[in-house]
Structure 1
Amino acid sequence: RHYFESSLDNCSMDLSDFDFSDLPVERPASGLDSLTALFNKLLHELPVNLDRFVTIAKNEPYRIFTEHIANRLIITLLNEQDLRISDKKTKLQIIEIFHAVATSTRAMRVMTRIILQNTDVWFDDDVDEAVRERTSKDGHGELLPVRDPELLKRMKLLFAACWYTPPALLNNLLQDQKLRIREVKRVIISNYACTVMQSIVRSKAGRNKLKRNLKVQAAEQEVET
């Protein structure tokens, strides 16, 4: 722990002399190899074997040790780097990795802020067009049900990252997607979205708190308009 903390405090992350060979870890999931190169560049091209590091972070025997280090690494990385990534698949992989290794509220808040601020497109164009389709005469219309599996996956990852800060989520939906307040409320509180939220919130109390906060925030936003 001292080795890692010293490296992070000094804004260097040279893991080349840290031996992971004796740790019984499985090969990481597909996609991590390419992300390793990305993070190596973000971390000033230091020799960081991040795929190995993340895989270790997911293994229970080392979880107490690696959770603290992972949080420090993520905070340092996101505070100092401009994470502007255009590829949606890469963005989703990054969020999945951060969600797997980041446990502290601060690390997750920093990650969420950076990802949301630099995310250009969360919804596929065809899905977004379907969601925006209006069916009523008053000009506001009703949203079609969110059935696209990829859209639900992105919503799940987004909620997993910032379920405890629904106002930030709603604000970013409003700013980035330029949706009407009513549309945002319907997307967030639709049965499909609630199902997604329930799957990522562990306790019944957590689910109730999340849905209550979302409803209150959506109501406040609608009143303001």
Structure 2
Amino acid sequence: MSATSSILNKTTLHNKKLTDYKLVAIDMDGTALNEKYQLNRRTIETIQKVEDNGLVILLATGRMLSAVTEHLNLLGTSGLVVSHNGALVKDVHKNQTYLHNKVLPEVVKTTLLLYEQFKFVLHFNIQDEVFVKHPSTVSKRYAEELGITLNYSSPSYLDIIENSTSILLMERKKVLEHVLMQVQATHPNEFDHVLIQDRKMFGCYNSYLIILLKEKLF
């Protein structure tokens, strides 16, 4: 049983029923998805049952939209998605955007300058497209795990600076911790970040780190 199935099957606790709620927001990695980054049959049936009871299903994730579409199609539920850890809120089925916060241009410029110095793996997430600075085995593995397509054709410098929904950095832990400290020192309280250590993706838990930068929401 996935974490999602377990939680939703316990919603009658504390005298609460599904009909007492209007919306259910569901995390994906480590919650709705199993260890193979897939939805199992029981999870799909549980979520569909919840929606059949009149609740709106919303997927909330750090992923970009292209890494959510396949799962939405399997669920057959509402197209509401909070992606990029809150930077983009969109109804995928209606192609309606409710919120789109972008990384501040100065934060993007600083990241580019640090990239020239440290040469970490760098992805620019512009809405639903993932632009890669340079090809790498780490980027390829990342794309395979998420089921996304990487775009190796560089957008214009202005497009990167002004339209990055989020920025993904991948490199050895010590390198990215140093990079993060420099970005924070240059732009205190001007962005949010998420740190991810993934044993499966990089083979060694303490060697690699993923940092997702996005605009500060609060």
Output the TM-score relative to the length of structure 1: 0.29
Higher percent of residues as strand: 2
Output the TM-score relative to the length of structure 2: 0.30
Q: Which has the higher contact order (CA 8 A, sep 6+)?
A: 2
